[in-house]
Every structure is written in C-alpha cells, then in structure tokens.
Amino acid sequence: MLMDAISVIRTKRDRGRLSDEQIDWVIDAYTRGVVADEQMSALAMAILLNGMDRAEIARWTAAMIKSGERMDFSSLPVPTADKHSTGGVGDKITLPLAPLVAACGAAVPQLSGRGLGHTGGTLDKLESIPGWRALLSNDEMMDVLRNVGSVICAAGDGLAPADKKLYALRDVTGTVEAIPLIASSIMSKKIAEGTGSLVLDVKVGSGAFMKNIDDARELASTMVGLGTDHGVKTVALLTDMSTPLGLTAGNALEVRESVEVLAGGGPADVVELTIALAREMLDAAGIKDADPAKALADGSAMDVWRRMIQAQGGDPDATLPVAREQHVVTAADSGVLTKLDAYAVGVSAWRLGAGRARKEDPVQAGAGIEMHAKPGDTVTAGQPLMTLHTDTPEKFDYALAALEGGVEIAPAGTDFTPNPIVLDRIA
C-alpha cells in the first residue's frame, strides 16, 4: 500500500485516527530519513493538539520498539525490575534505589539519561565520580548484572532509534508535552530494554513536566496501559515535585546525598520515596519476603553500590568534585518556610552550571544548590536558606534572579503541612 507523509499529517490534523499501516509506515520512514524533520514536526504538533486513542498509542509504541533491537534478560537467575522517573529537581532516587532493589534479590537494568533544562540527569550525576563510565556494551551490561545485580548506564543506539530522533525533534518544536508522545517515548525504550516489570515515578508540580495531578494521572494511566499491553507488569506512583527532593540539586552534591542515604542517613523525603519505590519494584518482580528498609540499615545496599560503581570503572572512595565558589542565600524574615519552589531551584542550579540548555553542552560536576531548610521548617531572619555552588561566580546574579518569588516565609505560628511525597498509585 502506497503511503506519503502529507496524507498521514492531514489525517491527524483533521482529528482523524491513524491506521496501523499509517503508523508503521511513518515511524519506519522517519527512522530511515524518508520523512523529513519538518514533516514529523507537523505530525507531532497535530498529535499534541488532537491526541491519540489507546490503540493508536500502543501501535505507535510498538513501531518505535520495532525500529531497533530488543534486549533479553531471560538468562539471568533472578527476575528483573526497572524504574523510570519523568524527571524533577533533586531527583537522585535512582542512585540509592538500584543497588537497594538488587540487595533485596532482583536484577535492576537501569538505562538512564542526561539532564536537559531544569531537570537533572542520572548519568550526569554519576559521571562526577572519578572514572565511572556510562557507556557499556550489551555484554558489559549483562556482566555487571550477573556479578553485581544492578547497573546504571546509557541506553545503546540500537534501542528504539526512532525515539532518539523524535525526542530531539520534540525538544525544539514545542511538542514535549504531548502525552501520547511522552508515553510512547518512555515505554518504547523500557519495553525494548527487556525488563520483566517496571515502576513509573510520575512527578507532579512546578518542577515537573506535568504541572497538575489530572495530567499526571492521564500520563501514568497511558503508560501503565502500554506496559500491560506489551506484557510488562507496570505500576505508577504519582509523586510530589512542587519542592525539590532532598537537600541538594546538582551532580556531585546529589551523589554525596545518595551515599548518605545508602549509609542509613540522608533526608527523610529521599529515604521515604526510595523505600516506597523499592517495595513496588520488588512486589512487581514477585519478591515478597525482602525488606528494603532493612537492606538500607544493614549496609547490604551500600555494598552493592560500591561494587556497581567499581564494575563501571569508578572509585567509590574518591573525593567528589567541589565547586570553587559559593554564595549563601539567607532568610529575609523569621517565620515558617511555606514555599521552596522546585522549578525556581532547578533553573537556578541549571544557570550555575549543573544543567545544560542543549544536549551537547558540558555540565559542572560541583555546581548546584544546597538547601538548609524545607517547607514546614521554622527559620530566623538572616539564617542560611541555600548555598549556591559554581566554578563561574559571574553566574551568581543570573542564578539568584531565578529564585525570585520561589521562596515564601509566613509569620511564626502559621499552620502549614507540606504535600505528601506519594500522591496516588496507578496499577
């Protein structure tokens, strides 16, 4: 059957339903370069504006998977479980979570990405550890999984290459927020990765792509449906991203905090979410008798972390990079901190050098923000609220501008209850 890009675009432009044949053809043709970027941009915008039904999204996802290879972990002696976060500020959860779940008996093949804009990237954080390698061959990845139980690495070029092209295009055409395209992008990679079960951490709030819970619930339900349709047991938690996770936003800063969690300490919100996601991953993998809280307390998760870092060329005992310059932000008033906006903190950390505007940009390992108080805490005028870190002090004013309006302090005695970390569960 003959196909052309214009007829496919017109179908969705006119609020029609794309046929299976149209979807298969356009994804394959775009991957091969037959459909031009400007044509796929028009189709992506039509999808953003007019949506897709569940069957369309499932077929689109299947076509993305078919564009590349699929990994197979069936030879491993234990079940596999993976986690994906939709991205946030201070979201270092993957770092303690992967070794924790491995310490409890599952294999964790965690394919992660880099930060873009105000959201941090797991690979950028780990690359602040001297010697650590993100790029592993499939054979190296399997060796680490067999010998250690968890691996965190970059996805190879062979997994869903159609998504790699389309993801970059969406980023520069204002179509990142299209829920069918977000869902198919995430799930095509995760299904092609070959994990047996998947837990999704869908962020909600100012620092997330999904600003309100209804959109987040729609995205989570779509992705859970896609996983189910492709035979992957999938569960989603909706979690708060109105305030940064933990007390750090940056790369080396977040590694340091993650190690504190693995050592049995760390901020309460990071520990709570790490354990909640670990329990979901273990349950989805069919492991019922393991206690992730115990594995954090007894040091077994830390043991897996150290072996995982060493297996990927890193030195878990190395001194982490520290930025050359610091600037302290103090409280303007005394009272109760009622707002520490995740988006404002994320943009400020990005401007300090912790993130990138384009995927080719370098990041500073030591740049970022330490937070000395969180919403609900009582503060005194003049006390430190945040410490900004960077190698380029000329960026301080630019970073401080991003924080304007992001901090609010109410009079002492104000009744304030922070949002819960886990807002909902979709299964």
pLDDT > 90? residue 256: yes
Residue span of the structural domain in which 34 resides: 5-51
My answer on whether 261 and 299 are in the same domain is yes
My answer on whether 359 and 381 are in the same domain is yes
Q: Is residue 76 part of a domain?
A: no
pLDDT > 90? residue 209: no
pLDDT > 80? residue 116: no
My answer on whether 288 and 371 are in the same domain is no
pLDDT tens per residue, range 24-65: 999 999 999 999 999 999 999 999 999 999 999 999 999 999
Share of the chain above pLDDT 90, in %: 89
Residue 293 — very low, low, confident or very high, per pLDDT cuts 50/70/90? very high
Find the mean pLDDT for residues 117-144.
93
Whether 260 and 266 have beta carbons less than 8 Å apart is answered as yes
Give the side-chain half-sphere CA count within 13 A for 160: 23
User: So what's the pLDDT on residue 177?
Assistant: 84
My answer on whether 41 and 103 are in the same domain is no
Instruction: Give the total residue count for the chain.
Output: 427
Q: Is residue 71 part of a domain?
A: no
Mean pLDDT across the chain = 95
Rounded to an integer, what is the distance from CA 33 to the centroid of its chain? 29
Q: Is residue 69 part of a domain?
A: no
CA–CA separation, 332 vs 408, rounded Å? 9
User: So what's the pLDDT on residue 356?
Assistant: 82
Instruction: Say which CATH number the domain at 349 has.
Output: 3.90.1170.30
Please give the tally of structural domains in the chain.
Answer: 3
User: So what's the pLDDT on residue 31?
Assistant: 95
User: So what's the pLDDT on residue 412?
Assistant: 94
Q: Is residue 75 part of a domain?
A: no
Indicate which residues carry an active-site annotation: 84, 163, 170, 185, 189
pLDDT > 90? residue 159: no
Q: Is residue 264 part of a domain?
A: yes
- Side by side, the strands of the sheet bearing 197-204 are 82-85, 197-204, 233-240, 422-426
Q: Is residue 362 part of a domain?
A: yes
My answer on whether 176 and 277 are in the same domain is yes
